[in-house]
Structure 1
Amino acid sequence: MTAIETTGLTKRYNGSSAVADLDLTVREGEVYGFLGPNGAGKSTTIDMLMDYTRPTAGTATVLGMDARQKASPIHAQTGILPDQFGVYTTLTGREHVEYILDANDATGDPETVLDRVGLDDAIDQRAGGYSKGMRQRLGLAMAIAGDPELLILDEPFSGLDPYGVRLVREVVAAERDRGATVFFSSHVLDQVERVCDRVGLLSQGRLIAEGTPTELREMAGVETHLRIETDADDTAVQAIRELDGVERLSREDGHVIVTCPRDVRYRVLDALDSTGATIRSFDSEAGTIEDAFVELATTNTD
């Protein structure tokens, strides 16, 4: 069963398309990153999946159920962290989680859930006194409470410090490991790349590319450069040039810079070492998913 499937999903406002003809399939048990800049249509798509707004055209199925006809049972099995998450200022962290568990007729321990997001020390503090980052983590706790089948996280890294960002990645990985499907939107592209099984790139309401982070980098022609500090002579350099997969090689100030796929890097180092050259240091500069997005978005708008 697919966790999310849309066909021709479209939303127009005053004749302008916020989402246009979206065909999307999210597999059960995967982490799917829905990426794009602010205003690309990510939140609008989530609103249609959750039946917060109705599509102008097309269909959406969530957990095997029609998003429009079965909104209540979908919500009961889905944990959602909305963009612009707001708290009930007079309720404690514990009471927020208890509210979600009761609303979804689910079981769970609020203390365990809040400990997972680093709020164990503030569990009985009123949320009105929480910082922005603490509120975001509370929203994440409410999303995972009751072990939902599907997690939908809209901009989960918003307002978080580096500790909070890492915590979100760890929670997402743990949810996937227990068998949940995770679908989240973000414009923080470098963070998404670390946890996603697959990625969909959205630009101006249209899905312009989809695949694993590696596939998208290859699709966009984003390159990996291996920069080696070495005393390699011409013979050693020639040995590297002759390796399958080496695309380009240059020399610069005691360094050899090799353009090659990621899986060829260690063969380059082995070849260099076998010639007797000294390898003082090396560094790999891999193209990011953000580089791929910029390239693919530019290509699709030319």
Structure 2
Amino acid sequence: MTAIQMAEVTKRYGGEPAVVDLDLTVDDGIVYGFLGPNGAGKSTTIDMLMNYTRPSTGSITVLGLDAQEDASRIHARTGILPDRFGVYRTLTGREHVKYVLDANDAIGDPEAVLDRVGLGDAIDQRAGGYSKGMEQRLGLAMAIAGEPELLVLDEPFSGLDPYGVRLVREVVEEERDRGATVFFSSHVLDQVERVCDQVGLLADGHLIAEGTPTELRDIAGVQTRLRIETTDHDPAVDGIRDLDGVTDVTYQGGELVVTCPRTAGNEILRQLEDAGVGIQSFDIDHGTTEDAFVELADARAD
């Protein structure tokens, strides 16, 4: 089943487009990362999915239901962590989660849910005393309460320390393994590729590329850098320079750096060994989704 389907969706505010001709398909049971800088149109897209705002043109279905006509049924099957999430200061963490369970007529254990996000010790503390990071974790707990079919997370890494960021990634993976579809937006591109099955890159309201993180790097022409520490003071590199796709070879301070296609690493190491070059260690930098986004966005601007 398709969890999310958007066809030729455009949203304008006062005549200015925030999202333009967006065609988007998110398959059931995957983690889809919707990535782009602040102001790209990510939150507007999520608002349209949840019927907080309506598209100027185009159609949207969520979980096989019309996003406008069946909004209440979609909400009952969806957990959402909105951007700029705010707590009810007088309610405890337990009461926040219980409220979501009751509102969706769902079964769940608030203690177990809050334990998953690291708030077990603060379950009966009033949320007005939570830190920003604790508030974000509470929002995540409310989103996953009741085991929804779809999770929609808008900037879920906001306000979190490194431990909290890792915890979000772990929860997202667990929810996917449970069978849920996870759709989340972020501008923290280096974190997203660690957990996403599919990625869509959004710039100025336009979907400029879509695919797996590896596919996006290939589409953008992001090259691999192979860093090799050698025992030689002057390693033989002429044969390496002649290999298909190798664009640069430098040697400085005992480190040989080869810029090459992602699949060329084994051949480069083999040639060095055949040439008698002593290899102490090597590291492969395949580039990031952020590198791909920059390349694709720059190409579009040109």
Q: What TM-score range do you get, normalising by the shorter chain?
A: over 0.9
Preserved CA contact (<8 Å) 1:224 1:260: yes
Task: Confirm whether residue 145 of structure 1 aligns to residue 152 of structure 2.
Answer: no
**Counterparts of 2:131 and 2:234 in 1: how far apart (Å)?**
59
Q: Distance in 1 between matches of 2:232 and 2:275?
A: 8
Could you give the per-residue CA deviations for residues 160-218 of structure 1, whole angstroms, max 9, x where no partner exists? 00000000000011111111100000011111111111111111111111111111111
Residue matched to 2:98: 98
Question: Any idea what SS the aligned residue of 1:40 has?
Answer: coil
Name the aligned partner's letter for residue 278 of structure 2.
Answer: T
Query: 1:98, CA displacement in angstroms?
Result: 0.6
Task: Mark the runs of 5 or more structure 1 residues left unpaired by the alignment.
Answer: none
Query: What per-residue deviation string (whole Å, max 9, x for no partner) do you get for residues 101-146 of structure 1?
Result: 1111111111111111000110111111000000000000000011
Evaluate the alpha carbon distance shift between residue 3 and residue 95 of structure 1 in structure 2; reply closer, same or farther with a 3 A threshold. Answer: same
Q: Which residue of 2 aligns with 1:60?
A: 60
Tell me, what secondary structure is at the counterpart of 1:264? helix
Alignment of 1:62-211 (within 5 A): 62-211=62-211
Return the alpha-carbon distance in structure 1 between the equivalents of residues 287 and 215 of structure 2.
12
Is residue 79–residue 152 contact of structure 2 (8 Å, CA) maintained in 1? yes
- The residue matched to 1:21 in structure 2 has which SS? strand
Query: 1:213 matched to which residue of 2?
Result: 213
Give the deviation of 1:266 after TM superposition. Answer: 3.7
Contact conserved, 1:232 with 1:272, CA < 8 A, in 2?
Answer: no
CA distance in 1, matches of 2:253, 2:103: 65
| Corresponding letter in the other structure for 1:110 | P
| 1:18–1:204 contact (8 Å) kept in structure 2 | yes
- Aligned residue identity for 1:114: L
Distance 2:235 2:142 in 1: 61
Superposition deviation, residue 242 in structure 1:
6.1
1:61 partner amino acid: T
Determine the structure 1 residue equivalent to 2:23: 23
Identity fraction in percent: 73
Aligned-partner residue type, residue 56 of structure 1: S
Moved more, 125-134 or 210-219: 210-219
C-alpha deviation, 1:280, in angstroms: 2.1
Look up the match of 1:284: 284
Residues 9 and 243 (structure 1), Cα distance of their counterparts in 2 relative to 1, 3 Å cut: same
TM-score if structure 1 supplies the norm length? Answer: 0.95
Distance in 2, matches of 1:222 and 1:291, equals: 7
**TM-score, with length taken from structure 2:** 0.95
Provide the C-alpha distance between the structure 2 equivalents of 1:158 and 1:233, rounded to a whole number of angstroms. 47
Deviations 1:22-75 (A, max 9, x none): 000001111110011111110011001000111110010000000001001100
Give distance in 1, aligned partners of 2:54 and 2:244.
Answer: 53
Aligned length: 302
d(CA) in 2 for partners of 1:62, 1:157:
24
User: How many Å separate the matches in 1 of 2:235 and 2:22?
Assistant: 54
Structure 2 counterpart of 1:10, which letter?
A: T
Cα deviation, 1:146-167, whole Å, max 9, x if unaligned, reads: 1101000000000000000000
Gaps of 5+ in 2: none
State the AA in 2 paired with 1:259: T
CA shift for structure 1 position 250: 3.4
